[in-house]
Amino acid sequence: MKSSEEIKFEAKLDAGVLELKGRLTVREISAALELIGKKLAGYKDKSINIDLDGLDYIDSTAVVALRDLEDKYRDVTPVVRIVASDEKIRKQFEVFGPELDKPPAADIEKTSFFERLGASVFDLFNEHIAGYLQLAADITYWSFTDTFRQGNRRKGEYVNQAVLIGVNAVLIVGAMSFIIGLVLALQSAAQLRSFGANIYIVDLTVIAMMSEMGPLITAIMVAGRSGSSIAAEIATMKVTSETDALRTMGLNPVRFVIVPKMHAALTTLPFLTIIADIMGIAGGMIIGATALGISPQVFIHRMEEAVVMKDIVFGIIKSLVFAYIIVTTGSYFGFRVQRGAEGVGKVTTMAVVVAISLVIVADSVMGLIFYN
């Protein structure tokens, strides 16, 4: 424990200002913070200024500690503001952080919960929703116009992207859909058997796969595979100034990089969805044959009655919407990258999470529209 002589520091509270006097260094800071804490605990007004003009000296650790104190009291009562007009003190603060406010400071009104909520919503709209809609509009426009302008296409890029997004995903989408179909039928088999409604396993599997599970599994798999790769590719291009280089070569990065991906996703996702439907139904068929005694011939015969064109069409429409969401979300987060490698990882994760979330929301909305 230090004696009072060793601590060459004083804190005096007067009319909304806590004046600090003496030396404030790494040696005094713990005791000083304790003293300031006590003064603040007994303080009833909304804000308080800590005036440093009376200090003879302040070292870097004390600067950091006071900055930290200011941060801690930013959203609580009293709001703490560190102020100084002494140039020496101000310079010391500038070395270790942003410029310090000058006293006398105006009263700081603490923002209410609703003000902060409003500001957050405004920021969300301003930063994300408006930005996303702007980019999505850009991508939609160029994807549409470039469909008819052959001269603007990068030779071979559409095929390249179609292979990456579509062909390379066939195996994983097929395997996952098969397993989902298998499990779906397996879970239902016991229930249907107890009602003697074995044959309805066909209707259940076919309708569930075609209208819901097929498009959804495909979209989630593609969002994980290609949504992340789109975000990572664009983010890396941005970090390494490749998008700037394209712009200064008179090339629009949206047309050059994103449009081929959009075309590829829009054309391959419906096929992937059909593959997912077939594989899921095949899984159901195996359970039908092994657990419920429904032969493949009977399964196929019943399937012909259960399949409704509406389900197939809605499934394909869904897959187109999902393709659009995956590409636009991946692109949006790719362009939002802020810092090097860390930033690339962050936006890639965000792109996948948001794309999958939006796919599920869109699926629910379309479900309500199509089947209401």
Partner 1 sequence: MAGNEIIKVDRLTARIDNQLILSDVSFHASAGDVTVILGSSGSGKTTLLKHLLGLYPSDKNAISVLGKNPWHLPQNEEKAFYSRLGVLYQNGALLNSLTVGENLALPLQQHTDIKGGLIEKAVRLKLQMVNMQEAYNKYPSQLSGGMLKRAALARAIIMDPQVLFCDEPGAGLDPVSLSALDELILHLQKLLGMTVVMVTHEVPSIMRTADKIVFLRNGKLTFEGTVREGIESGNTYVREFFDRAKGN
- Residues contributing to the site for partner 1 (CB under 8 A): 236-237, 240-242, 244-251
Shortest Å distance, C-beta 237 to partner 1: 8
Tell me whether residue 34 or residue 342 sits nearer to partner 1 (CB atom): 342
**Residue 32 CB partners (closer than 8 Å, separation 6+):** 7, 9, 11, 20, 24, 62, 65
Number of H helices, E strands in the chain: 16, 5
Looking at the DSSP assignment, which residues form a beta bridge with residue 55? Answer: 22
Tell me whether residue 74 or residue 247 sits nearer to partner 1 (CB atom): 247
Shortest Å distance, C-beta 250 to partner 1: 3
Q: CA–CA separation, 299 vs 203, rounded Å?
A: 9
Q: CA–CA separation, 250 vs 184, rounded Å?
A: 52
| Segments of the chain assigned E as strands | 9-14, 17-24, 47-51, 55-58, 79-83
Tell me whether residue 42 or residue 156 sits nearer to partner 1 (CB atom): 156
Shortest Å distance, C-beta 234 to partner 1: 12
Shortest Å distance, C-beta 336 to partner 1: 14
Shortest Å distance, C-beta 67 to partner 1: 18
Are 322 and 297 in contact, with CB atoms under 8 Å apart?
A: no
- Enclosing H/E stretch for 368: helix 340-370
Shortest Å distance, C-beta 243 to partner 1: 9
Tell me whether residue 254 or residue 316 sits nearer to partner 1 (CB atom): 254
Tell me whether residue 124 or residue 245 sits nearer to partner 1 (CB atom): 245
Q: Exposed, middle or buried: residue 8 (CB in 10 Å: 0-12, 13-18, 19+)?
A: middle
Tell me whether residue 144 or residue 371 sits nearer to partner 1 (CB atom): 144
Are 294 and 189 in contact, with CB atoms under 8 Å apart?
A: no
Shortest Å distance, C-beta 108 to partner 1: 19
Shortest Å distance, C-beta 52 to partner 1: 24
Tell me whether residue 240 or residue 357 sits nearer to partner 1 (CB atom): 240
Q: Which residue has the tokens 């062909």?
A: 167
List, as one string, the DSSP characters of 279-326: HHHHHHHHHHHHHS---HHHHHHHHHHH--HHHHHHHHHHHHHHHHHH
Tell me whether residue 8 or residue 153 sits nearer to partner 1 (CB atom): 153
Structure tokens belonging to residue 139? 């991508």
